[in-house]
């Protein structure tokens, strides 16, 4: 036994003659002793398995000779049957060494004058029991299928160079744009999903009217026309608010770094650090109060509807309270505990209430969806989760048409 230097040790089992020789010479195991032990084990394995390999060679010579003598006609079926091994054997034939076993050298299909045949017969004849026992053990082993996962990466694309539009810099200083018309450097945040797999569901353009994203945030890579941007969607980490209205503007990491001096000196804008809540034990960043810089932030500047849109777009998986969960279901147009008196023929299997029914019963929360939004939500969270499971989260329960109760928050 010899130490490995990390508190562990390894033990070698040596043959008796090697072990006795070591005791006479030294009490320490050297690398030479390890090499001797490996060579001895290799030689022993070769001697043990040589009858099995010899019998395999004799079987090959038997089939080769039968194949060479194959002429056709009625002899084909007989030759094929003589090539095949029996599909079933008794336990005595498999494992009893005292019963005579049919062996290849006695079947008359070997040329005794061939020196290779004679040598194979000599080697295999000395260990019939061992060779057949090894063969049966190999057959009984359940070989595991080894699979190597090959990840298909998207084709290489060139990144778009970062840029900071002058209108974004003006907004960071003054909290508004220099003109009344929307700036070309800004778009609705959910419009960024039009070029992804979520865009096939044709979600309403009125979704999240107060949530915007800059052009540098929306565009990441130079792509060919018609290709999807699923793998190039930026995460939401930097949010810019202002004192004039409840609008929220999503920035790229480059823009947040470049605008930091202007925001620190501004009295009209606030830069917030944000990340979606992806585990139940994680705190929520939806109130935008975790860390911010710039103008003093007031909760009234960011109503619940805005933060709800932000967390939906960012891919947040959990809600702070049961009331937030109920409001989100109503926002999606799904039935809640507050509105349960709805005819069954006006409900979908997932619990979606159509727009006409919502107007008739006085739906308490305005919903922009006219059709079942769950497929669209499923596409969003598949993009954001990037292959990680989320079926047991609050959002996963909604997508699976399963209801949550107040004690689960």
pLDDT tens by residue, 357-375: 888 777 777 888 888 889 9
Look at residue 20 in the predicted model and tell me its pLDDT: 55
Domain boundaries along the sequence of the chain: 2-132, 159-303, 317-409
Neighbours of 55 (CB within 10 A): 24
The answer to whether the beta carbons of residues 308 and 322 sit under 8 Å apart is no
Q: What is the mean pLDDT of residues 85-106?
A: 60
Say if CB 365 and CB 330 are below 8 A apart.
yes
- The predicted-structure confidence for 61-70, as pLDDT tens digits, reads as follows 888 888 877 7
pLDDT exceeds cutoff 90 at 28: no
Q: What are the pLDDT digits (tens) for 108-130?
A: 556 667 777 777 777 766 445 45
pLDDT band, residue 278 (cuts 50/70/90) = very high
Instruction: Report the percent of the chain where pLDDT is more than 70.
Output: 78
Distance CA 358, CA 370 (A): 10
What confidence tens digit (pLDDT) does each residue in 324-356 have? 998 898 898 888 877 767 776 777 777 888 888
Report which of 205, 217, 202 is spatially closest to residue 255, judged by C-alpha positions.
Answer: 217
In percent, how much of the chain has pLDDT > 90?
25
Residue 13 has pLDDT above 60, yes or no: no
Residue 62 confidence (pLDDT): 81
Taking the C-alpha atoms of residue 131 and residue 129, their distance in angstroms, rounded to an integer, is: 6
Does pTM surpass 0.85? no
Q: Other CB atoms closer than 10 Å to residue 191's CB: what's the count?
A: 16
Is residue 110 within 8 A of residue 117, CB to CB? The reply is yes
Q: Where are the beta strands (DSSP E) in 76-199?
A: 158-159, 186-188
Give the Cα separation of 118 and 58 in Å (integer): 10
On whether the CB atoms of residues 292 and 273 are closer than 8 A, the answer is: yes
pLDDT category of residue 25 using cuts at 50, 70 and 90: low
Residue 405 banded pLDDT, cuts 50, 70, 90: confident
- What integer pLDDT is reported at residue 159 of this predicted model? 86
Summarised one tens digit per residue, pLDDT across range 174-227 is 888 877 667 888 999 999 888 888 888 888 888 888 899 999 999 888 877 778
Please report which confidence band the pLDDT of residue 98 belongs to, taking 50, 70 and 90 as the band edges. Answer: low
Per-residue pLDDT, 157: 83
- How does pLDDT run across 138-171, given as a tens digit for each residue? 555 555 667 777 777 767 788 889 999 999 999 9
Q: Give the confidence band of 309 by pLDDT, cuts at 50, 70, 90.
A: very high
Residue 250 has pLDDT above 70, yes or no: yes
Can you give the pLDDT at residue 190?
A: 92
């Amino acid at each position: 036994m010899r130490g490995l230097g990390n508190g562990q040790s390894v033990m070698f089992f040596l043959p008796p003659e090697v072990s006795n020789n070591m005791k006479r010479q030294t009490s320490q195991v050297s690398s030479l002793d390890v090499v001797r032990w490996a060579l001895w084990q290799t030689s022993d394995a070769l001697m043990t398995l040589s009858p099995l390999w010899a019998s395999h060679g004799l079987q090959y010579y038997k089939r080769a000779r039968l194949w060479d003598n194959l002429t056709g006609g009625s002899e084909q079926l007989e030759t094929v049957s003589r090539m095949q091994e029996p599909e079933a054997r008794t336990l005595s034939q498999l494992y009893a060494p005292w019963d005579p076993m049919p062996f290849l050298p006695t079947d008359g299909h070997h040329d005794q004058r061939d020196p290779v045949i004679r040598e194979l017969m000599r080697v295999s004849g000395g260990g019939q029991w061992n060779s057949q026992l090894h063969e049966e053990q190999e057959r009984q082993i359940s070989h595991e299928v080894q699979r190597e996962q090959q990840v298909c990466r998207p084709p290489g694309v060139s990144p778009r160079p970062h840029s900071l539009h002058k209108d974004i810099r003006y907004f960071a200083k003054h909290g508004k744009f220099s003109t009344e018309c929307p700036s070309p450097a800004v778009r609705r945040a959910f419009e960024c999903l039009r070029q992804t797999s979520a865009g096939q569901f044709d979600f309403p353009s009125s979704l999240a009217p107060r949530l915007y994203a800059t052009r540098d945030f929306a565009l990441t890579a130079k792509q060919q026309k018609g290709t999807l941007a699923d793998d190039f969607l930026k995460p939401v980490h930097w949010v810019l608010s202002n004192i004039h209205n409840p609008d929220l503007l999503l920035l790229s990491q480059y823009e947040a770094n470049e605008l930091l001096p202007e925001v620190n000196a501004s009295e009209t804008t606030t830069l917030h650090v944000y990340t979606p809540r992806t585990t139940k034990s994680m705190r929520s960043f939806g109130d935008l109060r975790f860390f911010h810089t710039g103008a003093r932030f007031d909760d009234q500047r960011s109503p619940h509807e805005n933060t709800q849109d932000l967390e939906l777009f960012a891919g947040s998986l959990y809600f702070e309270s049961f009331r937030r969960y109920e409001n989100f279901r109503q926002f999606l147009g799904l039935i809640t505990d507050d509105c349960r008196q709805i005819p069954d023929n006006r409900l979908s299997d997932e619990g979606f209430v159509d727009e006409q029914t919502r107007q008739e019963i006085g739906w308490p929360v305005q919903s922009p969806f006219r059709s079942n939004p769950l497929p669209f939500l499923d596409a969003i969270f598949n993009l954001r989760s990037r292959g990680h499971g989320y079926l047991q989260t609050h959002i996963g329960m909604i997508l699976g048409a399963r209801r949550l109760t107040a004690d689960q928050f």
